[in-house]
């Protein structure tokens, strides 16, 4: 910046202009949230102290955030945290950013788990756990639940452990660094539910994603192969052997993938296939239940 801004209002105005010029959606809000983060203030504080001067160190720290956001780094990576199911989660570059759509999966999984008789030990396997949101938030919502979270990325595993800690559920969330398919060996125990938000974007569609996603998020968490279905195709045949009697599976999907993933589940012997929509009415989750061989 050529000249120092006179006060908070002017600093926010300059940040907003820079973010608008860089095509950042919701620029004003982004400018405010990053300044709150820098100062440890609330948005209300910013407006109550709009004409206060601001010291050079804070300006410098804040402007680094603004420049990162102007280069279209996701806001959550800059702030270092987000909320999912109203619970706090840390996020960091290199690990997939939690999406609000995934809350649909958690809500439906919770409702299904609550329908299971209380005397049963409930266990969930969360494959491709990323920052741990699915398993950790379910452990918070369902007190008698034990969770195993698995991810191939070391950063994701460490972040999931940390998020289980800050949410007070680390004694019920076990985290393993492992490829999901390798984890499904015949000797692995059986679970009440297997949940997964795998990479499901078709390779050819990656280039059309927002810059935040395509330039900053790990491609391994997004790329689902030629039609986006690679992961479902490989994983689904291994699931039935790992489910307790009456157990269920639940996948997040892309909005056109419901019929294909449903068919993969039916071919693998699952019943009760259901496609569930997110809040914008798009297909987002597929679920199915284990069908006993003699039933
Ligand atoms: N929903 C994500 C996105 O829009 C993709 C999630 C995934 O591949 N698991 O970028």
Would you call 109 exposed, middle or buried from its count of C-beta atoms within 10 A (0-12, 13-18, 19+)? buried
Residue nearest to atom 7 of ligand 1 (CA): 199
Supply the pLDDT for residue 294.
54
Supply the pLDDT for residue 116.
87
User: Would you call 26 a catalytic residue per the annotation?
Assistant: no
User: Could you tell me the pLDDT band of residue 293, with boundaries at 50, 70 and 90?
Assistant: low
Supply the pLDDT for residue 120.
78
User: Would you call 199 a catalytic residue per the annotation?
Assistant: no
Per-residue pLDDT reduced to its tens digit, 271-289 = 999 999 999 999 999 999 9
Among the atoms of ligand 1, which is closest to the Cα of residue 224? 8
Could you give the angle at the alpha carbon of 138 between the alpha carbons of 136 and 143, nearest 5°?
105
In testing the pocket of ligand 1, which one of 97, 151, 252, 282 has its CB within 8 Å of the most ligand atoms?
252
Neighbouring residues of 163: CB distance < 8 A, sequence distance ≥ 6: 89, 90, 131, 132, 133, 136
| Residue whose C-alpha is closest to residue 175's, from 154, 145, 199 | 154
SS3 at position 201: strand
Q: DSSP letters along 213-227, please?
A: HHHHS-GGGTB--TT
User: In whole angstroms, what is the distance from residue 135 CA to residue 127 CA?
Assistant: 9
Among the atoms of ligand 1, which is closest to the Cα of residue 213? 10
User: Could you tell me the pLDDT band of residue 218, with boundaries at 50, 70 and 90?
Assistant: very high
pLDDT above 90 (res 3): no
Per-residue pLDDT reduced to its tens digit, 37-66 = 999 999 999 999 999 999 999 999 999 999
Among the atoms of ligand 1, which is closest to the Cα of residue 222? 8
CA-to-CA dists, residue 87 to 137, 163, 258, 266, angstroms:
7, 10, 28, 35
The residue among 93 and 185 whose pLDDT is bigger is 93
Per-residue pLDDT reduced to its tens digit, 79-111 = 999 999 999 999 999 999 999 999 999 999 999
Per-residue pLDDT reduced to its tens digit, 109-139 = 999 999 988 777 899 999 999 999 999 999 9
Q: What predicted TM-score, i.e. pTM, was given to this entire model?
A: 0.94
In testing the pocket of ligand 1, which one of 96, 99, 202 has its CB within 8 Å of the most ligand atoms?
99
The single residue of 74, 98, 198, 199 carrying the catalytic annotation is: 198
Task: Confirm if 183 and 151 have CB atoms less than 8 A apart.
Answer: no
Per-residue pLDDT reduced to its tens digit, 140-177 = 999 999 999 999 999 999 999 999 999 999 999 999 99
| Residue whose C-alpha is closest to residue 125's, from 69, 175, 182 | 175
User: Would you call 198 a catalytic residue per the annotation?
Assistant: yes
- Indicate the helix (H) or strand (E) that contains 251: strand 243-252
The single residue of 96, 183, 231, 251 carrying the catalytic annotation is: 96
Task: Confirm if 239 and 194 have CB atoms less than 8 A apart.
Answer: yes
Q: Residues enclosing ligand 1, CB less than 6 A?
A: 99, 197-201, 209, 213, 222, 252
Q: How many C-beta atoms surround the C-beta of residue 130 within 10 A? A: 27
Sign of the Cα torsion 71, 77, 80, 83 reads positive
Task: Confirm if 75 and 66 have CB atoms less than 8 A apart.
Answer: no
Residue nearest to atom 9 of ligand 1 (CA): 199
Output the CA 183–ligand 1 centroid distance in Å: 22
Mean pLDDT over the full length of the chain: 95
Output the CA 294–ligand 1 centroid distance in Å: 38
Output the CA 209–ligand 1 centroid distance in Å: 10
pLDDT above 50 (res 295): no
Would you call 60 exposed, middle or buried from its count of C-beta atoms within 10 A (0-12, 13-18, 19+)? exposed
């Amino acid at each position: 910046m050529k000249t120092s801004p006179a006060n908070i209002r002017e600093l926010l105005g300059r940040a907003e202009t820079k973010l608008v010029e860089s095509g950042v959606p919701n620029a004003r809000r982004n400018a405010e949230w990053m300044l709150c983060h820098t100062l440890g203030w609330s948005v209300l504080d910013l407006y109550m102290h709009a004409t206060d001067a601001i010291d050079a160190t804070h300006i410098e720290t804040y402007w680094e955030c603004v420049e990162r956001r102007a280069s279209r780094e996701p806001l959550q990576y800059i702030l270092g945290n987000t909320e999912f199911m109203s619970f706090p989660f840390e996020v960091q570059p290199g690990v997939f950013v939690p999406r609000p759509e995934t809350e649909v999966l958690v809500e439906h999984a919770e409702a299904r788990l609550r329908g299971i008789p209380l005397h049963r030990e409930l266990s969930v396997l969360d494959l491709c756990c990323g920052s741990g949101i699915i398993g950790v938030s379910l452990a918070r919502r369902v007190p008698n639940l034990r969770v195993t979270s698995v991810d191939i990325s070391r950063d994701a595993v460490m972040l999931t452990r940390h998020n289980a800690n800050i949410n007070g559920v680390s004694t019920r969330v076990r985290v393993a660094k492992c490829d999901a398919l390798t984890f499904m060996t015949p000797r692995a125990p059986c679970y009440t539910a297997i949940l997964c938000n795998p990479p499901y974007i078709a390779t050819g569609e990656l280039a059309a994603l927002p810059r935040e996603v395509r330039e900053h998020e790990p491609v391994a968490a997004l790329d689902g192969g030629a039609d986006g279905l690679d992961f479902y195709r490989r994983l689904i045949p291994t699931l039935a052997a790992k489910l307790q009697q009456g157990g269920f599976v639940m996948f997040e999907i892309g909005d056109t993938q419901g019929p294909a993933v449903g068919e993969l589940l039916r071919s693998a012997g699952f019943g009760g296939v259901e496609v569930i929509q997110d809040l914008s009415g798009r297909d987002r989750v597929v679920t199915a239940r284990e069908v006993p061989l003699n039933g």
